[in-house]
Amino acid sequence: MILSVTRYDSEQKSEWDSFVADCKNTHFMFYRDYIEYHADRFFDYSLVIRDDRGTIVSVLPANVSEGIIYSHQGLTFGGYLTNNKIGTELMLAVFDEVNLFLNNKGFSKLIYKCLPHIYHELPAEEDRYALFVNDATLIRRDVSASIFLENKVSYSKLRKRCINKAIKENVIIELSTCNEEFWALLGNVLLKKHGVKPVHDLKEITRLRDRFPENIKIFVARHHGVVVSGAVIFETKTVAHAQYLASDELGRSLGALDLLIDNLINERYRDKRFFDFGISNENCGRFLNKGLIAQKEGFGARAIVHDFYEIEIK
């Protein structure tokens, strides 16, 4: 099969989005409306790979920074997106053709982020084999914590105590339609504890939530009507991912976030395959935040890794 590689342009938006919707390793973050919400921060260099009939066989969300091409740096993960028609031999051909294309464009390096398997609707690790064949170097490994909801591990005694306390204190869990309430709490918590702001500002999360109302949801825990804890959930067909979790001092004393997480795991998202808490490391995976991952593992979560590779273009 003869393949061709081109850069994505806006005329291909509908075709790109239709292909992403049919992929076996998809996520709503790969739709153009999500990728481009921060287009002012990244020089897009997404690629479209077609067969000799002009049919898309794969796409690669990507950007360029300082002469290096990346699996899009504005996305948590990425890599080649494929439908159920692609097999291992064809993926090897995709790697070869993209390598040739990038070499002709003067690139010498591709930083590639793999999509964790929990987001796969079908087996989709052809790219990992191709990375090995192409002598890619593992340069970073983040550790996330996920719960396999069909076979949950029991909560720790501490998590159970916190949940029971929140119940006794009449903490109420609800789906929020107001972005401002939780964003104010989240911003205060992040600034006080870590000296940083949320990755998304209020305008960005509002715009994204309007574009993807079925995928981005905010849940809050209230005590006497006041929001004391909350969660932003990014939802796909297979995974409910906690993009943000936060609790103020009162919420922590009440165990409000524990009750909220318990509600999400056992009620709201009980029919998903995985509940994912996100990563618990720093320094490109070299430093583990032991307290943070212990809290997540207290809910029965166990490790899922996010891998980053460097591919030499030659």
pLDDT of residue 212: 97
Question: Which CATH code for domain 4-134?
Answer: 3.40.630.30
Task: Give kind and range of the element (H or E) at residue 22.
Answer: none
**Whole-number mean pLDDT of the chain?**
96
- 100 — phi, psi (to 5°)? -65, -45
Question: CATH homologous superfamily for 147-306?
Answer: Gcn5-related N-acetyltransferase (GNAT) (3.40.630.30)
d(CA 3, CA 307): 27
- Ranges of residues in the chain with a pLDDT under 70 are none
pLDDT of residue 196: 84
pLDDT of residue 59: 98
118: amino acid identity, one letter? I
**What residue segments make up the domains of the chain, in order of their start?**
4-134, 147-306
| pTM of this structure | 0.94
pLDDT of residue 271: 97
d(CA 74, CA 67): 17
Q: Same fold for the domain at 4-134 and the one at 147-306?
A: yes
pLDDT of residue 123: 96
Is the distance from CB of 277 to CB of 296 less than 8 angstroms?
yes
d(CA 48, CA 132): 22
What's the length of the chain? 314
